[in-house]
Amino acid sequence: MTVTTNTPVGFIGLGIMGAAMAKNLLKAGFKVTVHNRSRSKVEDLLAAGAIDGGSPAGVAAAAEVIIVCVPDTPDVEKVLFADDGAVHAIKHDAVVIDCSTISATATVGFEQRVRAKGAHLIDSPISGGPQGAIDGTLSCMIGGDAAIVDRCMPVFKAIGKTFTHIGGSGAGQLCKACNQLVNTATMMGVAEAFALAKKMNIDPYKVRAALMGGTAKSFILENHGKRLLDGTLAPGFRSNLMLKDIKLALAAGVECGSFMPATALGAQLLAALCSSGRGELDNASMGLLFEELSGVAR
């Protein structure tokens, strides 16, 4: 199978990221069949020109490339292997591209089960946030067979800008774990720095401006730092999802015996943040926890 814009594509999971990605596939000229648990999200995509698959199996029956973008490992397992799951109607030689962030170990097992049906599974977790999904500039961290990845590049190019084939099945998920632990560790540093500035009655906006001109400059400082200072903490990427991702990273470290003190601390801080009732806020809200524990009033 050669993938072109004439290749029918399926999309399962129309959240903040998935809906924007599906729309970009439509803009690129693909025929897209969609499914989502929330009907309103499906209606939005139908209005943009998509077709209603009705179920994961219905999407698989209509598509040769199926993208999955759902929150967690059990969600991927359900859309693939439940009674109405995609594998029950998947076409021979079809490709599933899983853009969710899930367990690497589970991904290897899912790939084997999909391959037993005569199809293929690529893991391609994404980074770039909601704006990257809207702009079609996502970074795709890809695991799986290189020839299958190459075959699907027209689809990848419709949703992203940077494509890195990391290695075999599960390698993309492990790379995403590395991405999330770096993001969390950096956010911890930004939150601590701003809390210190406020505690010492120094303007944190000026601190941020100074740091942006030096070696501390980062995407997290530039974007998440500003969101924290401005108090614009609607997600974005929710704190409870970042906690899920950091737990996945920590589990991978435990499994292979890697030393991960920053990740372990990040998991504790994110758990405390979610327990404080901020699980639905953007993960930049970690700074609020640092302020509270520092006795800094908002």
- Catalytic machinery residues: 176
Cα separation, 163 vs 174, in Å, equals: 15
Query: 10 Å Cβ neighbour count for 253?
Result: 17
Tokens of residue 135, six digits: 């702009």
**What does the CA dihedral 228, 260, 17, 231 come to, rounded to 10 degrees?**
-10
Cα separation, 25 vs 222, in Å, equals: 29
